[in-house]
Amino acid sequence: MTEPLPTIRLRNAWRSNHPWIFQKLVDKPVPRPKPGSIVDIVGQDGVWIGRGFYNGHSRIALRILETDPDVAVDEAWFAAKIAAAVQLRREVLDLDAVSSAWRVVHSEGDGLSGLVVDRYDDLLVVEFFSAGMFRHREWIYAALRAQFPGCRFHSAADEHVQKQESFDFHGTSGTEAATITEHGIRFSADPAGAHKTGFFADQRDNREWLSHRCRDKRVLDLCCNTGGFGVYAAVRGASEVVGIDIDEAVLEIARGNARLNHVRPRFVQADIFPWLRDAAANGEQFDVVVLDPAKMTRDREQVINALKKYLDMNKLALGVVKPGGLLATFSCTGLVSEEQFLDMLRRAAFYAGRTVQVLKVSGAGPDHPFLAHVQESRYLKAVFCRVLD
């Protein structure tokens, strides 16, 4: 017989369908289950609410995974959830026709709180954001192998996540890069040699849309990372492409991506702030400017400071856009809302003395779904503007 699961009781009434329950709402169990254990959750009145992960060390004490009392959260449950996530990408979204790189699992968006999986051809990059997912990683690997026979794994967990969730993982080392194709353009995805996964599939649709407005244009790709936007622009016929990033290691990958596609953008190692000031002082102007910085903060107390940084860099970027040119500006800071980001852009345009016409507001591709009641999974803001004067 299967042993009964530990039961965790809430100390307050629960009137939400959000999968997270915070520590202050939970009675401390005795004995306390290990971080990431699967538990049954009951309300203040003892009525069963759901089944999920418990972590007495994390701010998020409970992550609800299942709300049907007759369904066990076991290896078969993980296999079914991951199969459903893959089916969405392959059969509904038909992503294999577009790219060999796409998000396989998007945490709460696929009902798998604390798990992110990205596919780069035969390489699957698995990121753990909860102790529960890390604790049950062998079930996850088995489910992924069933969907992607012969796949390779690169696994990781950010240090701050490990500290918050109380688990220890050194990640995969020595992973060989994969070569992927996206809208006919080739890239190297190198999770061992670049930031995060080595390539950001969330920008696929944004790269494609913008690139078709770059023919015969002078393009500036700021915070270019491994060159996604810049290489796209060059392939689509831009007259000149300049990519700027402070990290020389990712620029080497960007140069390799350019060679894969037989194009020659110019990649420069520099801090964008002094570089943009110098460019403006020298009268440099570009037809298309892309600004795609890394996440600014994970701390709610630092959101105002993050918005100030976005304001400064967008103001400087606007200073080098040719009248009538395009600015594509992005934020992947989940704590910054779309409304806040658009308000920042309004202020940046005012301080730069430019008139900005917003053409399109978007986010990550459809392989990054979010539940209507779990907005936390919606992190990427993309704003495409025309600078009128």
Quick one: CA dihedral 131, 159, 372, 61, positive or negative? Answer: positive
Percent of the chain with pLDDT over 70: 99
Higher-confidence position of 198 and 386: 386
At residue 198 the predicted structure's pLDDT band, cuts being 50, 70 and 90, is confident
Mean pLDDT, rounded, of the chain: 96
pLDDT at 267: 98
Q: Kindly tell me if the per-residue pLDDT of 1 is higher than 50.
A: no
At residue 238 the predicted structure's pLDDT band, cuts being 50, 70 and 90, is very high
- Section 143-166 average pLDDT: 96
Residue 1 CB: number of other CB atoms within 10 A?
3
Q: Are the C-beta atoms of 243 and 268 separated by less than 8 Å?
A: yes
- Section 94-108 average pLDDT: 97
- Section 287-302 average pLDDT: 94
pLDDT at 197: 78
Q: Kindly tell me if the per-residue pLDDT of 376 is higher than 90.
A: no
Distant-in-sequence, close-in-space partners of 224: CB < 8 Å, separation ≥ 6: 230, 243, 244, 245, 251, 254, 267, 290, 292
pLDDT at 206: 98
Lowest mean pLDDT among 190-194, 309-313, 364-368: 190-194
| pLDDT tens sequence across 339-373 | 999 999 999 999 999 999 999 999 999 999 999 99
| pLDDT tens sequence across 55-98 | 999 999 999 999 999 999 999 999 999 999 999 999 999 999 99
- Section 235-257 average pLDDT: 96
pLDDT at 64: 98
pLDDT at 2: 67
- Section 290-315 average pLDDT: 95
Q: Kindly tell me if the per-residue pLDDT of 194 is higher than 80.
A: no
Percent of the chain with pLDDT over 90: 93
**What pTM did the predictor assign?**
0.94
- Section 245-269 average pLDDT: 96
pLDDT at 45: 93
At residue 375 the predicted structure's pLDDT band, cuts being 50, 70 and 90, is confident
pLDDT at 172: 87
